[in-house]
Amino acid sequence: MSSIKQASVAKFKEKVAVIGIVGLGYVGLPLMLRYNAIGFKVIGLDIDSSKVELLNSGKSYIEHIPGEKIEVARKSGFEATTDFARVPECDALILCVPTPLNKYREPDMSFVINTTDAIKPYLRAGQIVSLESTTYPGTTEEELLPRVQEKGLRVGENIFLVYSPEREDPGNPNFETRTIPKVIGGHTPACLEVGVALYELAIDQVVQVSSTKAAEMTKLLENIHRAVNIGLVNEMKVVADRMGIDIFEVVDAAATKPFGFTAYYPGPGLGGHCIPIDPFYLTWKAREYGLHTRFIELSGEVNQAMPEYVLSKLMDGLNERGKPLKGSKVLVLGIAYKKNVDDMRESPSVEIMELIEAKGGVVGYSDPHVLKFPKMREHHFDLSSEPLTAEVLKDYDAVILATDHDRFDYELISQHAQLIIDSRGKYRAPQSNIIKA
């Protein structure tokens, strides 16, 4: 047993191991680049042949990852493939696949299960399998463990299984894959030891926890902490607005306290793959134990109500100008879920657009990071980004600042927009054409 473990650990320490990244998206691609940069051979596996073709031709499909980095990786040995028969070449298989919710807000584990089933026939002794997808506590034990062992391999003896949640923050210039500490839990102590060897050369700080369940719960707590606090400040925003108080001024003032307070800012709702989704993984799993996660569910309700709140502010603003929403032209500024990225997942901007259309408004959008509205599973708009000019702004009855990209010209917007619904607190000084939302 220990000889297989020691051989695996030695391969990673000596950088002769082959790293397999399964799922080449916002998590998998930065991880591939990091391992490639420190001298590992990396094979990328993905079921999307168009992604594989782009990567193999040295191109990127994620805005904040330049094609030049992909080209450098290709020249130094990285290759992408849709052929899962390449799995035996890999000493590590790091799974970076989506874990969305279904329409009943229950975990959709199909990507994790299908991916594990795809690699399962090719697993061999000496490999380590690491799941990075955010999920409920128990997933690694309940879903991956039996599949990995199905053909006679024994986890902790001749194959190793860990959970190490991704912590990517796309578009954040202050952190990168290397500098974000990595939490890791193993199914056994031997699994943990091999897992640490896998990650410690690529990541500055590896944080060990006692089990895969503890690592899974750690990731959920991080995102639940954000979801609950954003829900709190969104509720405070509504109260402050009714009282004639600027919530952004209040948060800024509270943030001067050097202890006991963390600044969270309100917005038009929650977006991205993590904060709107991950808390409900715990809500779902807690039911198995007869428990109700009331904080999580309440914050979810508050945050999900924010697009409707923005809509109500839009309708009030148009009404004051003698215009109904029906037939009015409304420009949504920013449809990515957060500033300075092209990621559309769970973006509240899209829900706002749908609400406007449902009330008879004519909607357009402007986003320098999303030039054409992408194909989405549940949302359909045949639109392209409008250029942000004085003429375009004047042509719309109202604009909604939904995502505060740095590339927007905020002075131009305030000068030429007839009505601005500011959901991001970008305009602090009172102006007759600006309504805070």
Q: What are 29's two structure tokens? A: 């691609």
Per the listing, tokens 């080449």 go with 24
Question: 53 φ, ψ to 5°?
Answer: -65, -45
Interval 82-125: pLDDT, tens: 999 999 999 999 999 999 887 777 889 999 999 999 999 999 99
Write down the pLDDT at residue 271: 78
- The catalytic position among 90, 96, 191, 274 is 274
Q: Which of 205, 197, 142, 152 lies closest to 178 in space, CA to CA?
A: 205
Write down the pLDDT at residue 273: 67
CB neighbourhood size of 57 (10 A): 12
With b for 16 or more beta-carbon neighbours within 10 A and e for fewer, the 391-415 pattern comes to ebbeebbbbbbbbbbeebebeebbe
From CA 178, how far away is CA 414, in angstroms rounded? 40
Question: 327 φ, ψ to 5°?
Answer: 90, -15
Write down the pLDDT at residue 103: 75
Q: What is the pTM of this model?
A: 0.91
Write down the pLDDT at residue 172: 80
From CA 65, how far away is CA 33, in angstroms rounded? 10
Interval 129-151: pLDDT, tens: 999 999 999 999 999 999 999 99
Per the listing, tokens 């020691």 go with 6
List the chain pLDDT tens, one digit each, 437 residues.
Answer: 579 999 999 999 999 999 999 999 999 999 999 999 999 999 999 999 999 999 999 999 998 899 999 999 999 999 999 999 999 999 999 999 999 887 777 889 999 999 999 999 999 999 999 999 999 999 999 999 999 999 999 999 999 999 999 998 877 888 889 999 999 999 999 999 999 999 999 999 999 999 999 999 999 999 999 999 999 999 999 999 999 999 999 999 999 999 999 999 999 998 766 766 888 889 999 999 999 999 999 998 999 999 999 999 999 999 999 999 999 999 999 999 999 999 888 899 999 999 999 999 999 999 999 999 988 777 789 999 999 999 999 999 999 999 999 999 999 999 999 999 999 999 999 899 999 99
CATH numbers and ranges of domains, the chain: 2-207 (3.40.50.720), 220-302 (1.10.1040.10), 305-436 (3.40.50.720)
Q: Which of 113, 44, 137, 130 lies closest to 83 in space, CA to CA?
A: 44
Is 96 noted as a catalytic residue in this protein?
Answer: no
β-bridge pairing 79-81 and 92-95 = unpaired
Q: What is the 3-state secondary structure (H, E, C) of the chain?
A: CHHHHHHHHHHHHCCCCEEEEECCCCCHHHHHHHHHHCCCEEEEECCCHHHHHHHHCCCCCCCCCCHHHHHHHHHCCCEEECCHHHHHHCCEEEECCCCCECCCCCECCHHHHHHHHHHHHHCCCCCEEEECCCCCCCHHHHHHHHHHCCCCCCECCCEEEEECCCCCCCCCCCCCHHHCCEEEEECCHHHHHHHHHHHHCCCCCEEEECCHHHHHHHHHHHHHHHHHHHHHHHHHHHHHHHCCCCHHHHHHHHCCCCCCCCCCCCCCCCCCCCCCCCHHHHHHHHHCCCCCCHHHHHHHHHHHCHHHHHHHHHHHHHHHCCCCCCCCEEEEECCCCCCCCCCCCCCHHHHHHHHHHHCCCEEEEECCCCCECCCCCCCCCCCECCCCCHHHHHHCCEEEECCCCCCCCHHHHHHHCCCEEECCCCCCCCCCCEEEC
Q: How far is CA 293 from CA 117, 137, 281, 282, 429, in A?
A: 32, 15, 11, 8, 39
Q: Which of 151, 160, 153 lies closest to 187 in space, CA to CA?
A: 160
> Are 371 and 356 contacting, i.e. CB atoms less than 8 angstroms apart?
no
From CA 224, how far away is CA 233, in angstroms rounded? 14
Interval 276-307: pLDDT, tens: 688 888 999 999 999 999 999 999 899 999 99
Write down the pLDDT at residue 256: 98
